[in-house]
Structure 1
Amino acid sequence: MIDPIRLVKTFVELAQINSESFKEGKLATFIVNKMASMGIDVRVDISLEQIKSDTGNLIIRFPGNKSVPRILFMAHMDTVSPGKGIQVMVENDVIQSVGDTILGADDKAGIAAIIELVEVLNYERIEHGDIMAILTVAEEKGSIGAKNIDYKNLKTDYAFVLDGEGPVGGIITQTPTQNIIKAKFIGKSAHSGISPEIGINAIQAASNAISRMKLGRLDEETTANIGVIRGGTSFNVVASETYVEGEVRSFSMEKLKTQTEHIMDCLTESAKDIGAEVKINTVRGFTGYNLKPDNKAIAIASEAIKKAGLTPKLVTTGGGSDANVLNEKGIDAVNLATGMVNPHSKDESITVKELESLTKVLLEIVKIALQNKI
């Protein structure tokens, strides 16, 4: 059955392959070779033509009993920064990075569990239905890989995204909607010591705009953040350009719209105040979903979690994932917690027990499908 030693070895190998967003190619090659050694069909999808990455999404097919409901598992290959040169240590059941990097359990824990699932099904010749796994690129940049899947040819009955924070057993049933706001301030350069009065400082316009904004947790449904500000060329030059990037998330579409407009107004008014120009681009990062407790994908996940000896817990989160894209495309999908702790930080970790538990849940999902209980 599940081999914890093999599972941890796979995870460590995955974690130590650089795969920051848009640089997932080496990881994809490793996974393709791993699957090929088991005789599993893998291909790179059409997203390679659309995304500025060095690979597309990986589509893994493991055909089985055609009378059984089709299952899709999804995880993402990219990591956030700092994700280069990751070194992993395993001590007292805890897996974490050595040094000044993330670990990459987000989302290589999900990938490791999928690979171990295939190992178990393949070598123990366990009967199963049609299983597909999609490993996406650029999830951390707004689920770009998931948005470029060929959905016309994607055939599945239920989907399980393996990308949730917290102990295995968590089932994310509700997420907010996210708007991403990008702005470029355009001023006029000048020598800051000789003729500052003829310059228009784009950094000043941006900082004034940010100081006017309501940011952080605005209420129980809404958050807002400015996460990037970049501009200027030298301390003695009035900055002619400054770039700002932020977001708004809310469970309320009305509040999302109101807060997005508030930020845009701050950007526009601050530019106008000093005679600068600002170009603003607002895009939908992801659309929220709110699944009902009687949703079939939730029922499957809950039963699988119980059979794995755990307690299911329905969770609301402020984060987004590829599950948002799947639900928006009409595919019944839930995001499952993978056991990762403190993702997107140098304190990120996961335990061997959680990795094993996650794989057990996936195996139970496959068994439930085989029993035609869905």
Structure 2
Amino acid sequence: MEINDIRDFQVAENFTRYVQIDTQSDVNSKTVPSTLKQKDLSRLLVEELLSLGISDAHLDEQGYVYATIPSNTEKKVPVICFCSHVDTSPDSSGTDVKPLIHKNYQGQNLVLPDDNKIIIRLSEHPDLKDQIGNDVITASGKTLLGADDKAGVAEIMDAARILMQNPAIKHGDIKILFTPDEEIGRGVDEVDIKKLGAEFGYTMDGERAGTLEDETFSADGVRIKIDGISIHPGYAKNKMVNALKIASNLIDSLPKDRLSPETTSGKEGFVHPVNMSGSVEEATIDFIIRDHDTSKLATHEAELESITKAVVSQYPGASYTFTINEQYRNMKEVLDNYPRVVDIAMIAIERAGMKAEKRSIRGGTDGSRLSFMGLPCPNIFAGGHAFHGKQEWVSVQDMQKAVLTILHIAALWEEVA
């Protein structure tokens, strides 16, 4: 059969069901996964995979879903994997998501009914100009939508259904991996690469239709712990050293015109405080450090520590600790050694009827770390936009294009084997 002749998509139905299951992860949790509710969706995915005849589908204790679509060819084909994450961002509520389908979008402002202050405007979302005549899905105004990355999950699930029902599409073994906790940087902490058994992978976690990302930020986390001196406030003169005030001073001392998400673009890196907590006696600030050039992370960290040292020195009796934690590295450092994995995906995007665009991402995906774990893994569009907030949206047609891209990738690996 011709892949592009497929019309019986179920990806939109999958997606609208999945986003109604709250799977928000929690950066402050020490459990694996960070929230047990992520398993609610994962268990459903296993049930649906088993119902398709994918007999080895299972959920492990850490919240990872593994499954294999068996080969239907005599050729020896490299084993490939498609991966998405089930969790949604802690930045906006994922409870009681109400997906709305705006059919036949014609460029109008989308006023979300549960909070009419939330308006998705074409002027602010220029990619909407490519959606004229399409069906755009949003949330209702109280929550994020969850296209990051339940669009990717829905697309992989629909592609799995189509492959299982259409043996004329020849392919090798295809592994499916659904991960928890990607949004808090722990998405592949407990992946069993040996059990997964794939040689190459693709995360379905990108944005605009037709795009492939083979380059991410390199990323570190920094935790600064400030120790002050707590004294009863009634008797604190010349004695108290308030750790919260020091922390606030430190944040205010960061560069105002550079080195922040608000002032950078392209391949410029940044130093970004994401959490502050504490008391008079002790305060903690968590930073994320990002740059496409891995060597520049150390430069950014040295500047941050220099600022910290200068601020803390203004408060006699105060002290600090500065802890760096490696998070992930730019996957291009790995992918440049495996050009075929990217080339096949680019051809697949073209075969699915789009102009393929290779680009870098100002962020990271599970594929960043998977690449360094021995699974070269670029990131393919899933179709979502305006991630992590109430203006998040995705179109039905772009999700369908992602399903076709998955099918073409599977067929191309068999074709060139």
TM-score w.r.t. the length of structure 2 is: 0.80
**Does residue 76 in structure 1 map to residue 85 in structure 2?**
yes
Partners of 2:43 and 2:155 lie apart in 1 by 18
Q: Deviation of residue 212 (structure 1)?
A: 2.4
Residue type at the aligned position of 1:85:
D
**Aligned partner of 1:150 among 163, 169, 192:** 192
The answer to whether the Cα contact below 8 Å between 1:2 and 1:120 also exists between their aligned partners in 2 is: no
Q: Which residue of 2 aligns with 1:236?
A: none
Q: Which residue of 2 aligns with 1:331?
A: 375
SS at match of 1:29: helix
Partners of 1:83 and 1:148 lie apart in 2 by 24
Mean Cα deviation higher: 299-308 or 58-67:
58-67
Mean Cα deviation higher: 262-271 or 72-81:
262-271
Deviations along 1:52-83, one digit per CA (max 9) or x if unpaired, are xxx42111111114622211101111111321
Partners of 2:200 and 2:320 lie apart in 1 by 44
Structure 2: gaps of 5 or more residues = 1-5, 26-33, 104-134
Q: Which residue of 1 aligns with 2:70?
A: 63
**Aligned partner of 2:304 among 248, 255, 263:** 263
Q: Which residue of 1 aligns with 2:284?
A: 243
**Aligned partner of 1:189 among 224, 230, 236:** 230
Q: Which residue of 2 aligns with 1:35?
A: 49
Q: Which residue of 1 aligns with 2:116?
A: none
Matches within 5 A, 1:47-62: 48=61, 55-62=62-69
Q: Deviation of residue 264 (structure 1)?
A: 2.2
Deviations along 1:70-99, one digit per CA (max 9) or x if unpaired, are 111011111113212211111121111113
**Aligned partner of 2:346 among 295, 302, 311:** 302
The answer to whether the Cα contact below 8 Å between 1:339 and 1:355 also exists between their aligned partners in 2 is: yes
Partners of 2:215 and 2:199 lie apart in 1 by 20
Are the structure 2 counterparts of residues 293 and 308 from structure 1 closer, same or farther at C-alpha, using a change threshold of 3 Å? farther
Q: Deviation of residue 211 (structure 1)?
A: 2.4
Q: Which residue of 1 aligns with 2:359?
A: 315
Are the structure 2 counterparts of residues 9 and 218 from structure 1 closer, same or farther at C-alpha, using a change threshold of 3 Å? closer
Are the structure 2 counterparts of residues 202 and 356 from structure 1 closer, same or farther at C-alpha, using a change threshold of 3 Å? same
Q: Which residue of 1 aligns with 2:329?
A: 287
The answer to whether the Cα contact below 8 Å between 1:56 and 1:145 also exists between their aligned partners in 2 is: no
Identity score, percent:
27
The answer to whether the Cα contact below 8 Å between 1:35 and 1:42 also exists between their aligned partners in 2 is: yes
Q: Deviation of residue 294 (structure 1)?
A: 8.0
Structure 1: gaps of 5 or more residues = 49-54, 233-238
The answer to whether the Cα contact below 8 Å between 2:69 and 2:164 also exists between their aligned partners in 1 is: no
Residue type at the aligned position of 1:8:
A
Residue type at the aligned position of 1:303:
I
TM-score w.r.t. the length of structure 1 is: 0.89
Residue type at the aligned position of 2:197:
K
The answer to whether the Cα contact below 8 Å between 1:159 and 1:332 also exists between their aligned partners in 2 is: yes
Q: Which residue of 2 aligns with 1:170?
A: 211
Residue type at the aligned position of 1:138:
D
- Greater percentage in strand: 1
Q: Which residue of 2 aligns with 1:111?
A: 153
Q: Which residue of 1 aligns with 2:21?
A: 17
Partners of 1:208 and 1:338 lie apart in 2 by 41
Number of aligned residues: 356
